[in-house]
């Protein structure tokens, strides 16, 4: 697959910045937010018009009338605008009001039928489409959504990493599982990946840390939720920040270069990578030898009618392994 830029003419090395309220609540709220963001180098102003809520009694968006507010944002500030679509009617209405970019939410990406419906509605239209990861950590499902949109003739495609559902204790609203978007980037090097730090965090105090992590991993941009008065937001109040807080957050982020032409740096980096390659070779040899010994032990137990697992020995291995690892500066989790 060959992908075109989300925003034509924007330098590829510059991050794509998407910001705006979780939901379009009122015309005043949308325009107030947009006017405060207009001078902050935001590439796309976002606002949810239709909200796929977990519970039916939650705020589900203002609907089509909110698209007129986004059109006013576009006309008054010059910012391009984007919103989420989940079915044929959403696509039709978004196109009618001149929405510049649409995105598929996590609850849409998880359902191939819904993705195909949107893809069919977009056939023949040259509009950028951003695709959020599915709620569950399924890379193939994410790739499948990309393929469906691409087969509809859309080549201006990007993805949004918003984290994954997790049943357990975690500081995140949706755990990032960074290895999944990294693997997606490995398979599709030219596919832009945007980090939705708001939905990963679910809280304001770690927004900057997650955004910086994404930039350090060479993500191509950020999507952050902004509200003029977050405490009174009709949805996801805890994860939204004011335009002023957003400006401060952006000022503290370090935007790194993906690469460099500095030959001294490149030579030193190549030397360090060569050292890692040599260590990896030793590790693979040791692991291979260990596996062969484990197989011999297993066969020996089998011949003598002994159970494969001895809990006391397994506990001993774990305790010793953790202790030795920590002594070498490795974390217990590793």
Q: How many CB atoms lie within 10 A of CB 59?
A: 15
pLDDT for 53 beyond 80 = no
Each residue's pLDDT tens digit, 305-333:
999 999 999 999 999 999 999 999 999 88
Average pLDDT over residues 116-133: 98
Residues 319 and 201 both lie in one domain: no
CA torsion 137→138→139→143, rounded to 10°?
-130
Structure tokens at 51: 């909200």
Listed as own residue / partner, the contacts of 180-189 with beta carbons closer than 8 Å and 24 or more positions apart are 180/133, 180/137, 180/139, 180/142, 181/133, 181/217, 181/219, 182/217, 183/139, 184/139, 184/142, 184/143, 184/159, 185/218, 187/143, 188/1, 188/3, 188/146
Sign of CA dihedral 227, 161, 129, 219: positive
Confidence of residue 91 (pLDDT cuts 50, 70, 90): very high
Task: Kindly provide the b/e burial profile for residues 246-270, where b requires at least 16 CB atoms within 10 angstroms of the residue's own CB.
Answer: bbebbeeeeeeeeeeeeeeeeeeee
One domain, residues 71 and 163: yes
pLDDT of 233 > 70? The answer is yes
Percent of the chain with pLDDT over 70: 99
> Is 196 domain-assigned?
yes
Phi, psi of 20 (to 5 degrees): 150, 175
Q: How far apart are CA 46 and CA 21, in angstroms?
A: 7
- The domain boundary, picked from 219, 252, 285, lies at 252
How many angstroms separate the first and last alpha carbons of the chain? 36
Residue 57 confidence class, pLDDT cut points 50, 70, 90? low
- Residues 178, 293 within the same domain: no
pLDDT tens for 155-167 read 999 999 999 999 8
Q: List the domain range (segments joined by +) for residue 78.
A: 16-252
Query: Taking residues 291-311, what's their average pLDDT?
Result: 94
Q: Are residues 270 and 237 in the same domain?
A: no
Mark whether 66 and 212 lie in a shared domain: yes
DSSP 205-243: GGHHHHHHHHHHTT-SEEEEEB-SSGGG-SS-GGG-B-H
Q: What is the mean pLDDT of the chain?
A: 95
pLDDT digits (tens, 9 = 90+) for 172-219: 999 999 999 999 999 999 999 999 999 999 999 999 999 999 999 999
Helix, strand or coil, per DSSP, at residue 101 = strand
In this prediction the pTM is: 0.85
pLDDT computed for residue 54 by the predictor: 66
* Rounded distance between C-alpha atoms, residue 198 and residue 222, angstroms: 9
Task: Tell whether 11 is covered by a domain.
Answer: no
The number of domains in the chain is 2
């Amino acid at each position: 697959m060959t992908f075109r830029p989300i925003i034509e003419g924007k330098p590829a090395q510059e991050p794509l910045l998407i910001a705006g309220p979780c939901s379009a609540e009122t015309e005043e709220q949308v325009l107030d937010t947009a006017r405060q963001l207009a001078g902050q180098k935001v590439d796309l102003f976002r606002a949810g018009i239709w909200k796929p809520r977990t519970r039916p009694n939650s705020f589900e968006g203002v609907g089509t009338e909110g698209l007129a507010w986004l059109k006013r944002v576009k006309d008054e500030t010059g910012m391009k605008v984007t919103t989420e679509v989940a079915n044929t009617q959403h696509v039709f209405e978004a196109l009618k009001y001149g929405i510049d970019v649409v995105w598929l939410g996590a609850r849409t990406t998880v359902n191939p039928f819904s993705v195909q419906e949107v893809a069919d509605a977009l056939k023949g239209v040259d509009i950028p489409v951003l695709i959020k990861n599915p709620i569950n950590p399924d890379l193939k499902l994410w790739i499948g959504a990309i393929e469906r949109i691409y087969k509809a003739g859309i080549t201006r495609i990007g993805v949004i990493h918003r984290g994954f559902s997790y049943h357990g204790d975690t500081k995140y609203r949706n755990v990032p599982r960074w290895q999944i978007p990294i693997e997606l980037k490995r398979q599709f090097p030219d596919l832009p990946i945007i980090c939705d730090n708001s939905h990963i965090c679910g809280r304001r105090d770690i927004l900057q840390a997650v955004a910086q992590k994404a930039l350090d991993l060479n993500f191509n941009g950020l999507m952050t939720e902004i509200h003029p008065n977050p405490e009174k937001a009709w949805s996801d109040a805890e994860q939204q920040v004011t335009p002023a807080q957003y400006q401060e957050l952006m000022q503290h982020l370090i935007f790194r270069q993906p690469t460099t032409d500095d030959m001294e740096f490149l030579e030193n980096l190549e030397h360090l990578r060569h050292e890692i390659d040599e260590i990896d070779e030793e590790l693979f040899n040791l692991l291979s030898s260990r596996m062969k010994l484990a197989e011999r032990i297993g066969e020996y137990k089998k011949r003598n009618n002994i159970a494969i697992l001895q809990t006391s020995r397994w506990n001993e291995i774990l305790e010793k392994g953790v202790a030795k690892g920590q002594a070498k500066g490795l974390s217990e989790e590793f």
